[in-house]
Amino acid sequence: MSRPTPLHEVHKSLGATLTDFAGWLMPLRYGSESAEHTAVRTAAGLFDLSHMGEIHVTGAGAADALDYALVGNLGGLEPGRARYTMMCDADGGIVDDLIVYRLAPEEFMVCANASNYLRVARELTDRAKNHDAVVDDRSDSYALLAVQGPRSPEIVAKLTDADLVNLKYYTGLPGTVAGVDALIARTGYTGEDGFELFVAAGDAVKLWGALMEAGAAEGLVPAGLSARDTLRLEAGMPLYGNELTAATTPMDAGLGRVVRFDKQGDFVGRAALDGLEPGRRLVGLVMKGRRVPRHGFAVVDADGAVVGEVTSGAPSPSIGRPIAMAYVTATPAAVDIRGSHEPVDVVDLPFYRRKK
Amino acid sequence: MSSIPDELSYTKEHEWVAGLDDGLTVTVGITAYASEQLGDVVYVQPPEVGASIEVGDAVGEVESTKSVSDIYAPVGGEVTAVNSAVVDDPSLVNSDPYGEGWLFQVRVTGTPDDLLTAEEYTALISGDS
């Protein structure tokens, strides 16, 4: 039985199509997912991301614990800033990709994927045991709302006194939004400007209502996981379970830069990852035709030989043709879509980059 | 509740058939319920004009953001026309599934005896949801 989020009744009243995702009952779309996608690109969308995990790591040894547990340099993170990083296994395989917020010198919040946060919390607890740090999985007490899109600063500004102008990308500060205590973070997973608001589960409905009201004149619409997936795919952002798995290293995914070999001390995965060359390449594919490549479809070269596999694929509202990310070992020419080799253009990622 | 016109016949695979009572040629599409379940339709591949089809054959595809579904022939016969407008603009399946979103026409040689009435189809999708 899937768990409802604190906003379940709101989604039902909006007529959302619900779907099971990582054990949670989540809104897939409220109406047309393409319209939701376009709203985020041109105005703003409101997402319920309460399925994500929030794990606090606190104490004098918190930074050292995270530097050992994760591949990034968290000790070098200024309070108030956030960093995209990963947890790897000793063999270099990816356990999860994460955003870590340094709330205070001795307090961090690790935001983990819904499908992985229980494992991440267990691993953090285990990996922190020789450090003066406490790992506390507070996922159940949080709701997470994201306002994403070019109009999101105006919308959130109506509801807070926080200094949003100086809240740069990948920073987060505690504040009040619509009278609700929140961690206001300028992060997201859409390729647009936007905010992620971490609040107490009991405040989620109040905040959702206030945001919808404040955003009405700005074109804010509720947006579901379907739009979130096409938005992140256009932005070339990897998804755990698709581009990132336990059998994938950060180097495979083209994200070797997140592994900070220059930091002091050992970290889980260092020995396996040091000097590792990627065994394959993550590429962007744009279909010449209109059939849609899907996760797991074979990618073939000009001779029809299999050279890789699609990790994510979807029709792209912004490009007007289907797009995909795929791991390949040679230059792709086509995707095998139910027996038919459908030709592709190979492009640099991301597919979409917002205008600054 | 999705619209389910009384005058049409339906299949368990969520297709509708129009014109069965009038004569030889019928029009086929997918139901409003099916289009709502699929989400935004982005690609339609109808059968080819002139193709000979049998009841239950997979004769085409309807693809949406999240999934792809086969179109099954609800009747047997020869395909006499396909809707090029819906090939060019697949969103017609969402906006007008019983009108401009029709998929193809068939000169009927075989009709199964298990097509559903509007009432039976309503019961089917009520059980679905």
Q: What is the pLDDT of residues A10-41, one digit of tens each?
A: 999 999 999 999 999 999 999 999 999 999 99
* A17 inside 8 A of chain B by CB: yes
Alpha-carbon gap, residue B79 to A87, rounded angstroms? 56
In this prediction, residue B129 carries a pLDDT of: 47
Q: Which of A29, A290, A338 sits opposite B43 (nearest CB)?
A: A290
Number of Cβ within 10 Å of residue A257's Cβ equals 10
Question: Which residues from B are below 8 Å from A314, CB to CB?
Answer: 65-66
In this prediction, residue A38 carries a pLDDT of: 98
For residues A232-251, one letter each, b for 16 or more C-beta atoms within 10 angstroms of the residue's C-beta and e for the rest, the string is bbbbbbbbbebbbeeebbbb
In this prediction, residue B78 carries a pLDDT of: 96
- Do B10 and B31 contact (CB within 8 A), yes or no? yes
* A171 inside 8 A of chain B by CB: no
**Token output for B90:** 């697949």
Residues A176, A177, A182, A186, Cα dihedral to 10° = -110
Q: What is the mean pLDDT of residues A264-282?
A: 95
- For residue A236, give the nearest of A179, A316, A180, A156 by alpha carbon: A316
Instruction: Give Cα A37 distance to the centre of its chain.
Output: 16
pLDDT tens for each residue of A102-130 = 999 999 999 999 999 999 999 999 999 99
Q: Give yes or no for residue B103 having a pLDDT over 50.
A: yes
Listing DSSP states for B28-94 in one string gives EEE-HHHHHHH-SEEEEEPPPTT-EE-TT-EEEEEEESS-EEEEEPSSEEEEEEE-HHHHH-TTHHH
Listing DSSP states for A175-212 in one string gives EEETTEEEEEE---SSSS-EEEEEEEGGGHHHHHHHHH
- Best of A226, A287, A336 to mutate (most B CBs within 10 Å, chain B): A226
Q: Give yes or no for residue A355 having a pLDDT over 90.
A: no
**Token output for A163:** 């200094």
Q: What is the mean pLDDT of residues A149-161?
A: 98
Alpha-carbon gap, residue B81 to A206, rounded angstroms? 54
CB pairs under 8 A between A and B: 38
Number of Cβ within 10 Å of residue A281's Cβ equals 16
Measured CB to CB, residues of chain B less than 8 Å from chain A are 36, 39-40, 42-43, 45, 61, 63, 65-66, 68, 94
> Residues 210..239 of A with a Cβ closer than 8 Å to B: which?
226, 230
Alpha-carbon gap, residue A115 to B74, rounded angstroms? 41
Could you give all domains of chain B from N- to C-terminal order, each with its CATH number?
Answer: 10-109 (2.40.50.100)
Q: What is the mean pLDDT of residues A203-207?
A: 98
Residues B84, B88, B94, B98, Cα dihedral to 10° = -10
Q: Give yes or no for residue B50 having a pLDDT over 90.
A: yes
Alpha-carbon gap, residue A102 to A108, rounded angstroms? 4
- In this complex, do A292 and B63 lie within 8 Å of one another by their Cβ atoms? yes
Mean pLDDT of chain B, nearest integer: 93
Q: Give yes or no for residue A279 having a pLDDT over 90.
A: no
Least CA distance to A34: which residue of chain B? B40
Least CA distance to A291: which residue of chain B? B43
In this prediction, residue B111 carries a pLDDT of: 82
Mean pLDDT of chain A, nearest integer: 97
pLDDT tens for each residue of A36-70 = 999 999 999 999 999 999 999 999 999 999 999 99
Q: Give yes or no for residue A197 having a pLDDT over 70.
A: yes
In this prediction, residue B128 carries a pLDDT of: 58
